[in-house]
Amino acid sequence: MTQQAQIIQGSIVAIVTPMFEDGSVDWKGLEKLVEWHIAQGTNSIVAVGTTGEASTLSMAEHTQVIKEIIRVANKRIPVIAGTGANSTREAIELTKEAKELGADAALLVTPYYNKPTQEGLYQHYKAIAEAVDLPQILYNVPGRTGVDMLNETIIRLADIPQIVGIKDATGDVPRGKELIDGLQGKNMTVYSGDDATAYQLICLGAHGNISVTANIIPQQMSQICAAALAGHAEQAEALNNQVANLHNILFCESNPIPVKWALHEMGLIGNGIRLPLTPLAEQYRTPLREALNVSGVIK
């Protein structure tokens, strides 16, 4: 296993991109968030993933957000750059930029909307791995992209040296267990991408959780992951049960609408979000506020 893959484990926050009301990026707010995560025990940061509104940032902003997070983190914790695209050429370009900026790894979502075949997925990731000498983590989230990368395709990709991980956001624990078993002896680490079931997958052999909930409760998520990684399944479950409602309600509308509203409610970021995403609907605000209160982050 590569050195980079070894050090990326535990609670990995898919960090939001703070914005002002006019939708411009709040660079000072981003710096403050990164410092807060490091102080709270977050183990690694994903820059400009889905939660970071990658799909509505310009190419220049995309690069600048990655650069700023790497600058602030200053090698204290690893930074994984979101560089996926539904164009293989664009994904290669973004991944090259992430390497030049000093990212520890890249996270590459399956090409969305154009719905490639399993062979197309294999060739897409193979092309990126051969073009850029940077550890790469695949990202399968069929509920969001409209394409599902099958376990056999992932296992096949594990033979490519630069491909060191997979974020499994299916939420299907038995399927995740099959994947972990199928990767035995190969140079690929599994990460959960589903907060509600992450501790279960870690207890089965995954190395961490690429998390939305960690934006709100970084310390608790780090503790859950640490307990699961240590094999303390009952402790991990008990800790997770305390915040289970938060996992669910943070997806009452499309991510990152609820999590950005929650962070604004906590006083950590402004209320900016970019169209076509809109601020959290009124009917969800009281339930989310109550979940934040139960979790102890607001009073």
The residues annotated with a catalytic role in the active site are 139, 167
d(CA 164, CA 66): 20
Alpha-helical runs (H) found in 210-256: 218-229, 233-249
The residue type of 58 is S
172 burial via Cβ count (<10 Å: 0-12, 13-18, 19+):
middle
CA angle 29, 215, 252 (to 5 degrees): 115
Alpha-helical runs (H) found in 137-194: 142-145, 151-157, 173-182
> What b-and-e string marks burial along 131-149, b requiring 16 or more CB atoms within 10 Å of the CB?
bbebbbbbbbbeebbebeb
Max Cα distance, the chain (Å): 51
Task: Give me the numbers of helices (H) and strands (E) for the chain, helices first please.
Answer: 13, 8
DSSP classification of residue 195? G
Is the sign of the CA dihedral 204, 43, 230, 189 positive or negative?
Answer: positive
